[in-house]
Amino acid sequence: MLGQTIVNGLLTGGLYAIAAIGFSMVWGVMGIINMAHGSFIMLGAYVSYIVFAGLGIDPFASLPLTMAVLFVLGYLVQRLLLNRLMRTSLLLSLVLTFGLDLVLINLCLLVFSADLRSVNTAYTSQSLALGPLLVPIVRLAVFLLALMLAGGFYLFLNRAKAGQAILATALDKETARLMGIDPLKVYALTAGAGAALAGAAGSFASMLYPISPNMGLTFIGSVFVITVLGGIGSIEGAVLAGLLYGLIQSFAASLLGVNYEEIVAFVMFLVILVLRPQGLLGKRFYGEPV
């Protein structure tokens, strides 16, 4: 049972990690806490579902499409709404994205109704047997893809010009501007990327969890904790923290009882905030107006 607990925790952690990376980056680069991130995940799930139900395309295959759609959404939201707020109070962004979250959820309720849906492929719920351990295939694939996406994004940030522009703007907006980088464009790009990653998480989630307009709410709590745990703005941190979070929840459930898994996570969160607010791998200068 110990082994299974570890497997469960790691695999779930992978999904959590990819759900959190986009959120963490947006917060780190722009200082914006996107309360609608959960809705982006939800929308990613619906896009995957629609493509699957309508065209029969597997969510893994339609992943690029889902990410593209969400990228556009994130980009537009930033460009049209949030960029304006960058000049006033950043904390207003919390309120605005909260309102946006309400709008998105209720729009989906209107369009899709609250009926639960799911993506069931031929290999859903199948698992590989590795000795005494069972590794569900979908979760394993999600885990691997999540790591690949995270790695890809990391490389993008550190090697590609656009990515480096993002990092530069996060470090020092004014100097970046002096170097010819338009911060507003960078913000929009970052928001788009963050939404795209959320969309990927949603796509994965569509195969694992029932899809409904409220599903984002189940993720947003863990996303917060993982972001802070890993360090705001740090991709490696988010991945590490995601895995750690999955493991901690898994162990808490197994040792203390399933109903404790949430409260353990929150207490952990508070402890981290107090003892080491920059998280495991975070850096102080990211996104934090002192």
Partner 1 sequence: MKARGFARLAALVSCGWLLVLGALGAQAQDVLKIGVAVSQSGTFVREGEFLRDGYQMWADSANAAGGIKVGGKTYKVQLVTYDDASQAQTSAKLTEKLITEDKVRFLFGPYSSGIANATAAISERYKILTIAPLATATNLFTRGYQYFFCPTATGNAGLWPVLYLLQQVTPKPQSVAIVGPDDLFPNIAAEGAKTKAEELGLKVVYTAKYPKGAPDLSAVATGIKAGNPDIVLGSGYSQDSILLVKAMRELRIVPKAIGLATAVAVPDFRTALGAAAEGVMGVDYWSPALTYGDQYFKNSQQFYDDFSKKYGHPPYYHAAAGAAAGIILQDAIETAQSLDTVKVREAMLKIAGETFYTRYKFNPDGTNSVATLYVSQILNGEPKTVFPPDVAQAHYRYPATAGK
Partner 2 sequence: MMPLRLARWSGLALALALMVAAPLVIGGYWLRILTSIYMYAVVAQGLNVIVGFAGYHAFGNVVFFGLGAYIVGVAVTLGAPLALAIVLAPIGAMLAAAVLGWPLLRLKGHYFAIATVALNLAMNDLIINVGGVTGGAEGLPMPLGTLAPEALNELVYFLMLGAMVASALIVLWLSRSPLGYALRALKDSALGAEVMGINTTLAKTLAWALSAGMTGTVGGIWGYWINFLEPGSAFDIGISVNGYIMMLVGGMGTVLGPVIGAFFLETVSTIIWGEFIKVHLLILGLLIILVVMLLPEGLLFHFRRLVPRRKAAP
Q: Which residues bind partner 1 (CB under 8 A)?
A: 1, 4-5, 8, 11-12, 106, 109, 113-118, 120, 124-125, 127, 129, 134, 136, 139, 208-210, 212, 214-215, 217-219, 222, 249-250, 253-254, 257-259, 261-262
- Residues in the chain, overall count: 290
**Is residue 33 part of the contact set for partner 2 (CB under 8 A)?**
yes
**Is residue 221 part of the contact set for partner 2 (CB under 8 A)?**
yes
Classify 159 as helix, strand or coil.
helix
One-letter identity of residue 130:
L
Looking at the Cβ atoms of 236 and 261, the one nearer to partner 1 is 261
Inter-residue contact 17 to 237 (CB < 8 Å) = no
Select the binding partner of residue 34 from partner 2, partner 1, none (C-beta < 5 to 8 A, by kind): none
Q: Half-sphere exposure of residue 177, counting CA atoms within 13 Å on the CB side? A: 6
**Which DSSP category does 209 fall into?**
S
Member of 99, 151, 152, 210 binding partner 2 (CB under 8 A)? 99
Q: Among 18-26, 131-139, 239-247, 265-273, which window interacts with partner 2 (CB under 8 A)?
A: 265-273
Nearest to 228 by CA among 9, 34, 38, 28: 28
Rama region for 180: left / alpha / beta (φ>0; ψ in -120 to 50; rest): left
Classify 62 as helix, strand or coil.
helix
Inter-residue contact 206 to 85 (CB < 8 Å) = no
Inter-residue contact 31 to 42 (CB < 8 Å) = no
Min dist. Cβ of residue 89 to partner 2 (A) = 7
Beta bridge mates, 136:
127
Distance CA 59, CA 39 (A): 18
Looking at the Cβ atoms of 80 and 258, the one nearer to partner 1 is 258
Select the binding partner of residue 118 from partner 2, partner 1, none (C-beta < 5 to 8 A, by kind): partner 1
Min dist. Cβ of residue 218 to partner 1 (A) = 4
Min dist. Cβ of residue 103 to partner 1 (A) = 13
Q: Which residues bind partner 2 (CB under 8 A)?
A: 27, 31, 33, 81, 84-85, 88-92, 94-96, 98-107, 110, 221, 224-225, 228, 259-260, 262-263, 266-267, 269-270, 273-274, 277, 287-290
